[in-house]
Amino acid sequence: MKKNITKLLLGTITEMEIIELRNWLKDPANQVILESYIRDYHDLNLATLENNLDEAYDKVANQIGFKEKPVKKLFPKWIKIAAAIGFLFGLGLVYQQFFVTEQEHCSLRPHDEPITLELENGTVQTIDVNGQKEVRDSEGNIVGAQKQNQISYSQVSQKEELVFNTLKIPNGKKFQLELSDGTLVYLNAGSSLRYPVNFLREGLRQVFLSGEAYFDVAKNESNPFIVNIDELDVKVLGTEFNVSAYQEDKKIDVVLVEGAVSLEHNNEVEGDIVSLSPGQKGSCNRGSKGITVKEVNTDLYTSWMQGHLVFRNLTFDQILTKLERHYSIEIENTNIVLGQEIFNASFNEVSIEEVLSYFNDIHAIDYSILNNQVIIK
Report which of residues 298 and 14 the model is more confident about: 298
Tens digit of each residue's pLDDT (9 = 90 or more) over 94-148: 333 333 334 444 578 889 999 999 999 999 999 999 999 999 887 888 889 999 9
Domain boundaries, the chain: 2-99, 115-300, 307-376
Give percent of the chain with pLDDT exceeding 90.
46
Note the pTM of the prediction, 2 decimals: 0.75
**SS3 per-residue string spanning the chain:** CHHHHHHHHHCCCCHHHHHHHHHHCCCHHHHHHHHHHHHHHCCCCHHHHHHHHHHHHHHHHHHHCCCCCCCCCCCCHHHHHHHHHHHHCCCHHHHHHHCCCHHHHCCCCCCCCCEEEECCCCCEEEECCCCEEEEECCCCCEEEEEECCEEEECCCCCCCCCCEEEEEECCCCCEEEECCCCCEEEECCCEEEEEECCCCCCCCEEEEEEEEEEEECCCCCCCCEEEEECCEEEEECCCEEEEEECCCCCEEEEEEEECCEEEEECCCCCCCEEEECCCEEEEEECCCCCCEEEECCCHHHHHHHHCEEEEEEEEHHHHHHHHHHHHCCEEEECCHHHHCCEEEEEEECCCHHHHHHHHHHHHCCCEEEECCEEEEC
Ranked by mean pLDDT, the top range of 141-155, 181-195, 285-299 is 181-195
In percent, the amount of the chain with pLDDT more than 70 equals: 75
Average pLDDT over every residue of 229-248: 93
Residue 291 has pLDDT above 80, yes or no: yes
Mean of the pLDDT values across residues 3-13?
Answer: 59
Q: Please check whether residue 35 is in contact with residue 25, taking contact to mean a CB–CB distance below 8 angstroms.
A: no
pLDDT at 187: 98
C-alpha to C-alpha distances, 165 to 15, 271, 325, 346, 368, nearest whole angstrom: 50, 30, 23, 35, 41
Instruction: Domain 307-376: give its CATH architecture.
Output: 3-Layer(bab) Sandwich (3.55)
Instruction: Provide the pLDDT confidence category of residue 164 given band limits of 50, 70 and 90.
Output: very high
- The per-residue pLDDT for 160 is 72
The whole-number average pLDDT for the span 258-271 is: 81
Fold of 115-300: Jelly Rolls (2.60.120)
Contact 241, 255 (CB under 8 A): yes
Task: Rank 168-172, 290-294, 360-364 by mean pLDDT and report only the highest.
Answer: 168-172
pLDDT in tens, 327-344: 999 999 999 999 999 888
| pLDDT at residue 238 greater than cutoff 70 | yes
Query: Per residue in 293-318, pLDDT tens?
Result: 999 999 989 999 999 898 888 899 99
- Average of per-residue pLDDT values in the chain: 80
| pLDDT reading at 51 higher than 50 | no
pLDDT at 58 over 70: no
Residue 93 has pLDDT above 70, yes or no: no
Equal fold, 115-300 vs 307-376: no
For residue 246, the tally of other CB atoms under 10 A from its CB is 18
What is the model's pLDDT at position 72?
34
Q: Which of the pair, 45 or 203, is modelled with greater confidence?
A: 203
Question: What is the spatial distance between Cα 293 and Cα 283, in angstroms, rounded to a whole number?
Answer: 7
Who has greater pLDDT, 149 or 61?
149
